[in-house]
Amino acid sequence: MGTVDRRVVRLAVAPLRTVGLLALGLAAGCATNPVTGKSELSLVSESQEIELGKQGSADVRQSMGLVQDAGLQSYVRDIGLRLAASSERPNLPWSYEVIDDASVNAFALPGGPVFITRGILAYMQNEAELATVLGHETGHITAKHSVHQISREQLASLALGVGSVLSSNVAALAGIAGQGLGLLFLKYSRDNEDQADDLGFRYALKDGYDVRAMRTVFEMLDRVSAAAGQGRLPQWLSTHPDPGSRIAKTDQRLTTVTQNLAQAKLNRDVFVRRLDGLLFGENPRLGFFDGSRFNHPDLQFRLDFPSGWTLQNQAAAVVGVSGGKDAIFALGIAGKDPPEQALGTFVGQQGIQSQGTSNASINGFPASAAEFQAVTQDGQAVAGRATFLSYGGNTYRLLGYGTAQGYANNRQEILQTTRSFNRLTDQAALSKQPLRIHLVRLTRDLTVEEFHRQYPSTVPVATVALMNGAAATNDVLKSGVWAKRVQ
C-alpha cells in the first residue's frame, strides 16, 4: 500500500496467472554456473536476474512488510552478508531482511534478496541455526536455481492459498497486484534443495559456525510445520519439499568435518536475546478474522465475508475467494479522494467498461459503485463490481470480481459483503492485542511443564516446548539459560 500507514488492512497478495518473466525480454543462451562450473542453458542474464530480484523484493516489502526492529534487521543482515562474502557470487547486491509474518519460512529471490520470517526466528535456538538457514537460501541464489526454473519456463502461479481468477494485468488494474511476488513460489527440485543444503552447510562452516545446528533446525522444521498454521506465507515444507533424508544427509556431511565443532559458534544467548519483545503469531492490530468476520481494531471497521470462502489477510488489503474459486472479493485503501472521484479513476482505466455508476451510502458512509467488465491478456472475459466508500479519513475500495460466469454466480454474496462494511464497536475486538515473546533467565533447572506453570504463556505448553528446543514437555531447561514464553 505504499506510504499508507502500516496499520492498514492486510490483504492476500493478488492472484497471478503468470508473472510473464516481468516483461524483461529474455533471450536464450548459455552461461557458466558459478557453483558447478558447468555450462547451462540460461535465458536470464545476471543483470536481468538482479532486476527480477529488485522488483520482487520491492513487492515483498510492500505487500508483506518488514519487522520494525532496526537492531534485529541489522543483526540478521550482518550474518547473511558474511555468508555471501565467502560465496561464489560475492558481488551480487545481497540483502537479508526479516518479514513481519507468523509463518515458519525463509526464501530467496533471484540476484541477492533473502527474506526470513519472524515466525521461524521464534522457534530457532541459536545463531548457528539462523546461519544455516540463511546459508541455504544464499545457496539457492549462488547456484542460480531460480534462474534455471525461469529458463525452463517453470515459473509457478501465485495464489497464497487462494484460487487464481484473474491475470496480472487485471489484478494490477484493481491495484492489488505485485508481479514480482510470483518469484516466491518457484518450486525447486530435490537436487536443488540438496545443493542448497550443501552450500549453506559450507558457508556456515566457513564462517566458524557449529554446523550441527543444521540438523537441529531440520528437526525443528519437521515438528513445527505439523503444528504451525499461521501466517500469510506457506510453511517451510510447502516451499522447500522435504525428500525425507535431509537429516541423514546432514549427518553424512558432519562426518567430513575436520574442524573441532566444540569450539565453533552457537551464540545462543546473543541470538535469543534479540527475540525479546518480538511479535508471536498474527498481529490482530492489523486485522483479524473471527469466523467469517474481519475485524480491524486500529481502523475500527468490520466486514462479513460469505461462509465457506477462503480468507486471507495481507499488507495491502484483505481478500476472500469463493468456494468455486471463480470469484474474489478484495478490500483495501484506495487513498483519500472522495468515493465518486475514486470510482471515476477506476472505471476510466483502459480496458475497463463500466455499466453506469450509483451514489448511495452504506450504513451511513458515503459510497459510489459501478459494475464493470474487462478482458484479460489471455482473452478471458471478467466482470465485477467496484465500490468506493469513505470512512475514518480513508477511501476504501471494495472490489468483487471474477470470470463472467463466476461473478454472475457470486453477485449476491459480493453485494452482501460490500453492504456489511460497518463501524467496529465490539470492545473485545477493539482491545485485542498481539502476543509477544518474553525471556526469562532461569535460576534453576525446570522442566518445560514446570516453567510453564511458574511463568505461564498464552500458548499451549507444547508450543512453549517447541520454542525452547525441547522435544517433550518433560524435558529439562537448564539453569542459566534464557527461556522463551509468550504473552
Instruction: Say how far apart CA 472 and CA 448 lie, in whole Å.
Output: 8
The pLDDT > 90 percentage for the chain reads 63
- So what's the architecture of 285-430 in CATH? 3-Layer(aba) Sandwich (3.40)
pLDDT digits (tens, 9 = 90+) for 178-206: 444 455 545 677 888 899 999 999 999 99
Cβ(144)–Cβ(34) below 8 Å: yes
Instruction: Say how far apart CA 126 and CA 120 lie, in whole Å.
Output: 12
Residue 85 makes CB contacts below 8 A (sequence gap 6+) with none
User: Given a cut of 70, is residue 244 above it in pLDDT?
Assistant: no
Mean pLDDT is lowest, of 47-51, 230-234, 315-319, for 230-234
In order, the DSSP letters of 38-77 are -EEE-SS-HHHHHHHHHHHHHHHHHHT-B-S-HHHHHHHH
pLDDT digits (tens, 9 = 90+) for 329-345: 999 999 999 999 999 99
Predicted local confidence at residue 317, as pLDDT: 81
Residue 261's CB: how many other CB atoms inside 10 A? 17
Per the listing, cell 527475540 goes with: 275
Q: What are residue 365's phi and psi, to 5 degrees?
A: -100, 135
What's the per-residue H, E or C state across 303-370? EECCCCCEEEECCCEEEEECCCCCEEEEEEEEECCCHHHHHHHHHCCCCEEEEEEEECCECCECEEEE
Predicted local confidence at residue 199, as pLDDT: 97
